């Protein structure tokens, strides 16, 4: 059996479906009415369904035709978007892209990457906002958002995981000298802890206890809605804090912070880039997304 081109006749069908009749469709495509009719007939024969109700003056889609039109339209839009992305790869990009990201991770890790990504295109304008609020995954005017943790309500979004980082419980040497170092989870109740806020970083911690990931609610001694401020607070001795490794790697390296409860380490947190689900992603947004994914492949977001 010969392979049948699945796209054969699709453009003619879509044009006919969007026209009043086959004569109008033929005029739009530079074909004869007979050619349009034969193409549709072959398509109906191949599919085994009737796509149109035909009269002498009008054509109307059947229920099967309506469903097939929706599927064909989506497929053609995806092809068009792919062609636009490929044709734009070597051209100068212009326009504004709004990117929203967590405060500390955005400033320390994502911003340097974005500067490199945007540099080859002087006409590309970045609008960068920094927030640790997690109530809205994506504001209406945001093109791309970077988010930590499990994503919810993503029906209208596309999400691409950039990295997965360990979570680290840490404190300053001064705090540990004054208050002691916890060695079990039960000892947390006797400690001061720095946690997030309702519309900011999480107020709970995640640990691995005997290989099983579990949720722990530490004392909310200090609630801070800004991840950068949480790092500073922990480094200045305010209490224990759990943060993604990238946010405290430098502090751990120079001794401003020390990791604790390492026996319960192993819980990890995902970092995603998300953007609205659209049939046509603009070339400049696609360029930024591709650049972020390339940086992630290099391990720059780990």
Looking at the structure, tell me whether residues 238 and 216 fall in a common domain. Answer: yes
- pLDDT band with cut points at 50, 70 and 90 for residue 2: very low
Look up residue 189 and give its two tokens: 């109740």
Of 27, 59, 87, the residue at which a domain comes to its end is 87
**Does residue 19 lie in a domain region?**
yes
- Please state, in angstroms and rounded to a whole number, the distance separating the CA atoms of residues 215 and 210: 13
What CATH number is attached to the domain comprising 258?
3.40.190.290
DSSP 106: I
pLDDT of residue 167: 94
Please state the domain count of the chain.
3
- pLDDT band with cut points at 50, 70 and 90 for residue 155: confident
Quick check: 83 pLDDT over 70? no
Instruction: Tabulate helix, strand, coil % of the chain (nearest 5).
Output: 40, 25, 35
Average pLDDT, the chain: 88
Looking at the structure, tell me whether residues 196 and 114 fall in a common domain. Answer: no
Looking at the structure, tell me whether residues 175 and 259 fall in a common domain. Answer: yes
Looking at the structure, tell me whether residues 109 and 158 fall in a common domain. Answer: yes
Looking at the structure, tell me whether residues 148 and 287 fall in a common domain. Answer: yes
- pLDDT band with cut points at 50, 70 and 90 for residue 1: very low
Task: Report the predicted TM-score, pTM, of the whole model to 2 decimal places.
Answer: 0.65
- pLDDT band with cut points at 50, 70 and 90 for residue 182: very high
Which residue range(s) make up the domain with 46? Answer: 10-87
**Does residue 2 lie in a domain region?**
no
Looking at the structure, tell me whether residues 243 and 171 fall in a common domain. Answer: yes
What CATH number is attached to the domain comprising 114?
3.40.190.10
Looking at the structure, tell me whether residues 65 and 116 fall in a common domain. Answer: no
Residue partners of 160: CB distance under 8 A and separation at least 6: 272, 273, 274, 289, 292, 293
Cite the DSSP H helix spans in 18-136.
22-29, 33-47, 63-87, 103-105, 111-118
pLDDT of residue 206: 94
- Output b/e per residue, 115-138; b: 16+ Cβ within 10 A: eebbeebeebeeeeebbbbbeebb
Of 60, 87, 114, the residue at which a domain comes to its end is 87
């Amino acid at each position: 059996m010969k392979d049948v081109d699945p796209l054969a006749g699709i453009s003619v069908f879509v044009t006919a479906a969007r026209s009043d009749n086959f004569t109008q469709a033929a005029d739009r495509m530079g074909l004869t009415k007979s050619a349009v009719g034969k193409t549709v007939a072959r398509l109906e024969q191949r599919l085994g369904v009737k796509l149109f109700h035909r009269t002498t003056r009008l054509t109307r889609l059947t229920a099967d035709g309506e469903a097939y039109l929706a599927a064909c339209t989506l497929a053609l839009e995806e092809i068009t978007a792919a062609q636009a992305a490929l044709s734009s790869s070597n051209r100068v990009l212009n326009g504004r892209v709004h990117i929203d990201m967590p405060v500390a991770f955005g400033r320390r890790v994502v911003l340097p990457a974005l500067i490199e990504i945007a540099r080859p295109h002087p006409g590309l304008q970045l609008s960068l906002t920094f927030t640790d609020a997690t109530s809205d995954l994506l504001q209406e005017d945001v093109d791309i958002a970077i988010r930590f943790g499990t994503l919810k309500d993503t029906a209208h979004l596309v999400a691409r995981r950039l990295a997965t980082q360990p979570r680290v419980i840490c404190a300053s040497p001064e705090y540990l000298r004054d208050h002691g170092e916890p060695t079990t989870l039960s000892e947390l109740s006797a400690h001061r802890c720095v946690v997030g806020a309702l519309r900011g970083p999480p107020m709970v911690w995640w640990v691995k206890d005997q290989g099983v990931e579990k949720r722990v609610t530490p004392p909310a001694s200090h609630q801070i809605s800004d991840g950068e401020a949480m790092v500073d607070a922990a480094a200045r001795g305010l209490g224990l804090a759990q943060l993604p490794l990238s946010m405290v790697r430098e502090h751990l390296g120079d001794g401003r912070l020390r990791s604790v409860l390492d026996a319960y380490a192993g819980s990890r947190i995902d970092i995603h880039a998300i953007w609205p689900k659209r049939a046509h992603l603009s070339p400049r947004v696609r360029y930024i997304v591709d650049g972020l994914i390339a940086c992630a492949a290099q391990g720059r977001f780990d």
